[in-house]
Each structure stands twice: as C-alpha cells, then as structure tokens.
Structure 1
Amino acid sequence: MMNMQNIMKQAQKMQKQMEAKQAELAGTTFIGKSAQDLVTATFTGDKQLVNLEFSPVIVDPEDIETLSDMTAQAINDALNQIDEATKKTLGAFAGKLPF
C-alpha cells in the first residue's frame, strides 16, 4: 500500500502533466465546417471563436435561414472536435489516478 506522501507526489505530478496538456490543447486550432464547407468556424482548444468565414455563394439576403443553419453547423462541428480532443487528451489521466 502506498503511503500518503507518495500519493501526494503522484497527484502533484499528474496535475502538472494535466495543466501542460490543457495548455497544449488550448493552443490547438480546430476548424469546424458546414455541409460543402460553405461556412467555416475556427476555434482555439479553449473554445474561443477566432474566425468565422462564409463562402460568397452562401451569402444570400433572401435566405438568411440557410446561412444561420450552416453557421450553427460549422460552430457545432468545431466544438465537437474540441470535446473529442479533450476527452482523448485528458481522459488518459483518469486511469492513472492513485486512488
């Protein structure tokens, strides 16, 4: 059985590793796309929107609803990518907990 001091050292080490992975993830760029890449949304790994681009063919003043739908699709795609990367990156730590 591990003593409390060793458990604390392991926990501190894991915390530093997790913080490094979180910083790495935050610095990663994720690009979400709508159908046919008509709208793209670029996020950082900490879910900050940094760019939103529209293909000229999608910009139709008579059809704002499609633009809105495509924008939501692109944003949700990027956010889903971030969530999956977060689970993959930080989920690895769950199996290493010393308790």
Structure 2
Amino acid sequence: MAGSFGEMGNLLKQAQEMQRQLERIRSELAEAVVEGTAGGGAVRVEVTGDRRVQSLSISDEVIKTGDKSMIEDLVLSAVQDGLTKAEQLAEQTMTKVTGGMQLPGMF
C-alpha cells in the first residue's frame, strides 16, 4: 500500500511538470507568428501560434483591380492559409511535450 502512495506522488509531480511545460508552450505560441498568403503573395496575413490574426496586407495592384469578389476570396484564402500554418505549428510544438499523445482541449 505504501508503494502506491509513492507512485501517486510521482505521477502528480509528472503531471505538474507537464502542466508547467504546457503553459510555457502556450506563451511561446502566443508570441510566434506565421504568415499566410494568397494570390502569389498579393494578400498576406500574420497569425500567431495561438491562432489570432494580427495583421493583413493587400497589395496595391489587387486593390486597383476593384474586383471586390476576388479581393474577398484572396483575403479568405490567406486567412485560411495562416490559420492552417498556425495549427500545424501548435501541433508540432505540443508533440514535443506530449510525445504525440493527443490531449483533448489543449488547443
């Protein structure tokens, strides 16, 4: 019986360490920035690793076309590209801590 209390304490320490690492990773991801693009770079968006859109730029050439529908499509594509890259970054970073184990609700 005494052995199981020691094992429980060890398990608790491991869980606390993993929690500290996860908090550190969340902080790092909040500061990391990836770029999504569309139209060969005519539209660019910056997204943080925790999936917040930080900035959006549209080239003057695209704006001059005046094609609202095309601009909307390019913006949407750039945002989707940026969010996909941010998600991939988060997954890669989390894998370092979890060893590939899927933890629901982490990101």
Q: TM-score range by the shorter chain?
A: 0.7 to 0.9
TM-score by length of 2: 0.81
RMSD: 1.9
Aligned equivalents of 1:77 and 1:4: distance in 2? 44
Decide which structure has the larger Cα Rg and report it: 2
Inter-CA distance 24–89: structure 2 relative to 1 (3 Å threshold): same
Q: What is the letter of the counterpart of residue 56 of structure 2?
A: L
TM-score by length of 1: 0.87
Aligned equivalents of 2:80 and 2:100: distance in 1? 31
Aligned equivalents of 1:27 and 1:90: distance in 2? 15
**Paired residue for 1:70?**
74
**Paired residue for 2:34?**
30
**Correspondence 1:42 to 2:46:** yes
Higher relative contact order (CA 8 A, sep 6+): 1
Structure 1 runs of 4+ aligned residues shifted over 2 Å read: 91-97
Q: How many residues align?
A: 96
Q: Point out where structure 2 has 5 or more consecutive residues left out of the alignment.
A: 102-107
